[in-house]
Structure 1
Amino acid sequence: MGIWTRSASRMLLSIMVVIVALMGVSGCGQVEQRPSTATPNVSVLPYPFLIPGLDRQRTVRLYLPPDYDNETQSYPVIYMHDGQNLFDNATAYVDEWGVDESLNVLAKKSGRKFIVVGIDNGGDFRMNEMSPWPNERFGEAQGDEYMQLIVEVVKPYIDSNYRTLSNVQNTAIMGSSMGGLMSHYAVHNYPDVFGKAGIFSPSYWYSQDVFSDTKLHRANNKARLFMLYGSGEGDGMISDADKMQRLLKQQGHPRNNMKFVSVPQGQHNEQLWGQSFTDAIKWLFQIH
C-alpha cells in the first residue's frame, strides 16, 4: 500500500505540473482570486464579439483617456492581444502590464492620450488563434479568423462608437509572445490598417513561415516597428529576433522606422513587457 501511495502521489504531482504548464501556455489560468487593480477609465464592453468563421466569442476591454467624456478630440487607437493581462490583476494570468496606469501618467506628463482596445485571448484556443500558420504540436492555424475579428468586427465598432483617429498612421497593434507574433503578421499583412506595431518577445519559434511570409508581405514604409525581447529569454529568442532584424533591413524597411531593443537579463513575462510599454508607445508615436 505504501509503495502504491508513493507512486500515486508522484503521478498526481506529474499531472498537476502538466496542468500548470498548459495554463501558462493558454495565458488564462487563475491561481487565486485577487482584487481588481484596473483604473476607473477601463471597462469591459457590454457584449462579446463573434469571431468570423469560428463559433467562438471574445470579450473586449476598453481603456479611454482620462476626461474622455469631458473632451471632444479624437484619439489614436492601440489594439492589443491578451486583454485579460493588460489592465487588471484580477483577470491576469500572472501579473498585469499596467497599461492603464502607464497611459494615465503619460497623458499627465505629455498631454498625449490614446484609446486601447484589449481583445481577450481564447484560453485553450490561444495558440491556434494567434498564428496564421499551423504547428505540429498545437494544430491548425486560426490566426486569419482572429485578425478578421479585429479588422472587420472590432475596429469598425470602435471607430463607430468612440472618437478615434481611424487612419493607418494612428492605428497600432501590440502584443507579447504569441501576441508579438500576431502583431508582426498584422502590420505586414494589413499595411493599410496598421501603421505601428509593438512586437514584444515574439514567438517566431512557432512557425518558420513567419520569415518567408515577411519576405512576401511588406509593412507600409511609414510603419514604425518596435521589437523588444529580454536577453534572458534564451538563445532561440535571441537568434530568431536577430534573424528577423536582418531580414527587415535586407527588405529595405526604413531604418529610422525600426527599433530593436534587447533588455539585459529580461525574462519572458509581464514585468518585462509592462516596464517597456511606455518607452515603446513614446517611440511608436514620436513623443518627446
Structure 2
Amino acid sequence: MIRKILKLLAILILLVVIYFGYIFGRQAWDFFKLKKYKENLEFTASENVKLLKDTIYLEFLDERRTLHIFLPPGYENSDQKYPVIYMLDGESLFDDLYMQGPEWQLDERIESVMAEGGPGAIVIGIENGDRRSEEYKPFAKTDSNEEVYGSEFSRFLVHDLKPWIDMRFKTKRSPRHTIIGGASLGGLMAYYILMTYPETFGKAIVMSPSFWVSDEVFRLHYDKDLSDKKIFISIGTEENDLVGLAKRTFKVLEAAGMTSDNLRLEKQRGFSHNHFTWRDAFKKAYPWIIE
C-alpha cells in the first residue's frame, strides 16, 4: 500500500515538474525571441503614419498625450470618408523603433487589404502614460481600494477626442463605422467602452483582455441591444487564466443573442501574452471587423 502511494506521489511530482518546466520554458523562449528582435530594431512605420506630439490633454490626469495616426493610401487626394479605429497603447501600433520592440503592424495590414481591393480605415492610436494600470481600469480590482481612471478616460475619448478627430479628418461618424480596440488592459477597456457608449461605438477588437480585474465585466452587457454590434475577441492558448475568462465572455455574449455574424472568438494556438500575439490578432481581426 505504501509503495503504491509513493509511486503515485512520484508521478504527481514528475507531472508538476513537467508542467512548470513547460511554463518557464515558454517564458524563457518569449524573452529570448524579444531580446533578439530588439537587437535589430529599425524604423518600420509607413509613410501614411503621422505623429502628433503631445496633442491632447487629459485633464483628469493633468497629462498631455501623443497621437499616432494612420491615414489610408490616397487619403489626401480623395473626398472619401473612412471608418475610424481608435486604438489604445498607440505607441505599439506602427513603428518598431518608437515602440522599442515588435509593433503590431496595423499600417501594413490595412495597406495590404486595400491593395487587394478591400476597405481602408483611419487609425487613431492614443499613447498611454506612466499610470497605464490605473488609466486602463474602469473599475478597481476585486477586493481592492485602488484609484482607477477608466471611466474618466472613456468619457474623454467619447466627448473630447472623437469630436476633435471628426472635425479634422474625413471620418464616417456613425457607430457602425467607429471601432475601439486594445490588448491586455487595453482589451478590457475596449470592451468596457463599447458596452458603456453603444451610441458612439459599434465594434470592438478585444485582444487578450484582462478580465481578471473584476466580475463586473460579465455584467456590462445587461440591458444592452447587441444586435447591431460586432465584437472580435482573441486569446493566445498559452495565456493561462485569461483563456478561460475570454471563453466565459464569449459564452455570455452568445447567451445574450450574439451569433457568428457579429461575434468571433479567435484562439491563437501557441501564442502567449505579448506583442507578437497582438500583431497576429489584428491581422485576423481587421478584414472581419471592417466588413
TM-score, length-scaled by structure 1: 0.82
Q: Quick check: 2:66–2:127 contact (8 Å CA) kept in 1?
A: yes
**Which residue matches 2:237?**
231
Matched positions, count: 254
Cα RMSD of the aligned pairs, angstroms, is: 2.1
Q: Quick check: 2:207–2:281 contact (8 Å CA) kept in 1?
A: no
Q: Quick check: 1:188–1:217 contact (8 Å CA) kept in 2?
A: no
Cα deviation for residue 91 of structure 1 reads: 2.0
SS of 2:249's partner is helix
Cα deviation for residue 64 of structure 1 reads: 0.3
Unaligned runs of 5+ in 2: 1-30, 32-37
**Which residue matches 1:14?**
none
Q: Quick check: 1:58–1:122 contact (8 Å CA) kept in 2?
A: yes
- The one-letter code of the counterpart of 1:275 is D
2:170 maps to 1:163: yes
Cα deviation for residue 256 of structure 1 reads: 2.2
Q: Quick check: 1:192–1:220 contact (8 Å CA) kept in 2?
A: no
1:51-200 to 2 correspondences below 5 Å: 51-123=58-130, 125-135=131-141, 139-200=146-207
Q: Distance in 2 between matches of 1:75 and 1:224?
A: 18
Q: Quick check: 2:41–2:101 contact (8 Å CA) kept in 1?
A: no
Cα deviation for residue 42 of structure 1 reads: 0.5
Q: Deviations over 1:192-246 (max 9, x none)?
A: 11111011100001222211333x3536421111101011111x11211121112
Q: Distance in 2 between matches of 1:173 and 1:93?
A: 24
**Which residue matches 2:269?**
264
Bigger Rg over Cα: 2
Cα deviation for residue 152 of structure 1 reads: 1.5
Q: Deviations over 1:159-178 (max 9, x none)?
A: 00110001111000111101
Q: Distance in 2 between matches of 1:117 and 1:33?
A: 27
In structure 2, the CA distance between the partners of 1:139 and 1:282, relative to structure 1 (3 Å rule), is same
TM-score, length-scaled by structure 2: 0.82
Unaligned runs of 5+ in 1: 1-23, 25-30
Cα deviation for residue 35 of structure 1 reads: 3.6
Q: Distance in 1 between matches of 2:283 and 2:119?
A: 12
Q: Quick check: 1:188–1:219 contact (8 Å CA) kept in 2?
A: no
Cα deviation for residue 191 of structure 1 reads: 0.5
Q: Distance in 1 between matches of 2:225 and 2:246?
A: 17
Q: Deviations over 1:76-123 (max 9, x none)?
A: 000000011000112215310011111111111124111000000113
In structure 2, the CA distance between the partners of 1:83 and 1:197, relative to structure 1 (3 Å rule), is same
Q: Identify which range, 96-105 or 31-40, moves more after superposition.
A: 31-40
Q: Quick check: 2:56–2:64 contact (8 Å CA) kept in 1?
A: yes
SS of 2:191's partner is helix
In structure 2, the CA distance between the partners of 1:50 and 1:32, relative to structure 1 (3 Å rule), is farther
- The one-letter code of the counterpart of 1:238 is V
Cα deviation for residue 254 of structure 1 reads: 4.1
Q: Distance in 1 between matches of 2:109 and 2:58?
A: 30
Q: Quick check: 1:168–1:194 contact (8 Å CA) kept in 2?
A: yes
Q: Which runs of 4+ in 1 moved over 4 A?
A: 31-34
Q: Quick check: 2:110–2:286 contact (8 Å CA) kept in 1?
A: no
**Which residue matches 2:17?**
none
Cα deviation for residue 284 of structure 1 reads: 1.1
SS of 1:182's partner is helix
